[in-house]
Chain A
Amino acid sequence: MRHLAVATIGAVFLIAASGAALAAGGDVFEAKGCGECHYTQGPAREKTIDDQLAKKGPELWYAGSKFQKKWLTDWLADPKPIRPMKFNDLMVENPADHPKLSGGDVAAVAGFLMGLTSDAVKAGKVKPKKNPKGRQIFIKKMPCSGCHQYAGRKGKIAGGRSGPSLVDAGLRLNPDWILAYLQQPKVFKPVKMMPVFVGLLSDKDMLNVARYVANFKPKKSKKKRK
């Protein structure tokens, strides 16, 4: 009985501490002005092209389902452009001017964002792997590579520039989110420049594409032989 009481108190303490940390991360998020460009309350709000174009940055209400924590933490401390072009702009290059966070703010905001999840993303559905069928769809059957950069043969960057780059997307994106996004795009982005592929690609094809994209990772460099 005593053990049960201690365990219960411990669990309550952990939940309270975790809730406090999330709240603190949310406070930092607002204090740093992140909320001026990114909204964090779901569901998706955009109904028209004007709604989408009015946004200054991507919605983050499902960030914890979309991103990988290590990538997000590293990126908040040292943000590098994900999109070749400025957000919502086809004429201006990405100015690479996203604010940086430092010190404890990085972990606080990363923890806050990773706590923002969507029930539409089911865990454990997608295992990243080399996938010739996914590659075939991505590069040849469908126009994915027309808008998204990826590392082609010998690591050469290929692909279009209007969408987010998918180079090393396997480090950035949760594989299960890629599949959920393909299958239920309107849950996440009701108005977007990317075509809807529901009804054009089968669930199996989408799974193959998700596996293929989730496997976009830097090639391990071979050690030079002496």
Chain B
Amino acid sequence: MKNLANNSAKILITAAALALFAFQTAPVSAAETEKVFKFYCAQCHGLTGKGDGPNVTKDFPVSPRNFTNAAEMNKLTDADLKNVIMDGGPSVSKSPMMPPWGKTLTTGQVDGLIKHLRALCQCKGKQG
């Protein structure tokens, strides 16, 4: 009886872990990604990604990246973008004003955002 209870608990935990993994990595549509971008990223990067969100006053300590600047965006690989979104500016020696979103966004949302940024810059980025 005890073994049965233990096995049931293990199955439940495994199912919960799989469900969480599926939720975390589920692909996010382009329309949903645009919502994510406008909700989180536009605060600093602006609704159209030009780096002109409402937080960017004359006292803002850095210039948030303009995602429509293909020349600058082409210097970054998709892995660079993922790192900076997940772990924040300091993970790539940039400003802490870029927050770490890894505990807020799902992996699927981050992957969607990378595609969205590539659409904004109309560039493929450095191939790494």
Contacts and interface: CB of A to CB of B under 8 A. Distances in A.
Query: Dominant SS at the A interface?
Result: loop
A90 B53 contact: yes
10 contacts: A90-B38, A90-B47, A146-B55, A146-B99, A160-B54, A160-B56, A161-B57, A195-B103, A195-B104, A199-B103
Given A84-B54, A90-B54, A198-B103, A162 B43 contact: yes
Nearest to B98: A143
Contacts of B97: 143, 146
A85 interface: yes
B96 A162 contact: no
Interface in B41-71: 42-44, 47, 53-57, 59-60
Contacts of B96: 140-143
Contacts of B104: 195-196
Interface in A172-214: 193, 195-200
A162 B47 CA distance: 13
A162 B54 CA distance: 6
A142 B102 CA distance: 14
Interface string B1-41: 00000000000000000000000000000000001101110
Contacts of B125: none
Interface in B80-107: 88-89, 96-104
Q: Range of interface residues on chain A?
A: 20 to 34
Interface of A: 49-50, 52-53, 84-85, 90-91, 140-143, 146-147, 158, 160-163, 193, 195-200
A161 to B, nearest CB: 5
Nearest to B101: A195
A197 B53 contact: no
A196 B109 CA distance: 15
Contacts of B100: 195, 200
Contact of B35 (A49, A90, A140, A195): A49
Nearest to B103: A196
B55 A147 contact: yes
A160 B57 contact: yes
Contact of B103 (A143, A163, A193, A197): A197
A196 B100 CA distance: 9
| 6 closest Cβ pairs, A-B complex | A160-B55, A162-B43, A196-B103, A195-B99, A146-B97, A143-B99
Nearest to B55: A160
A151 B85 CA distance: 29
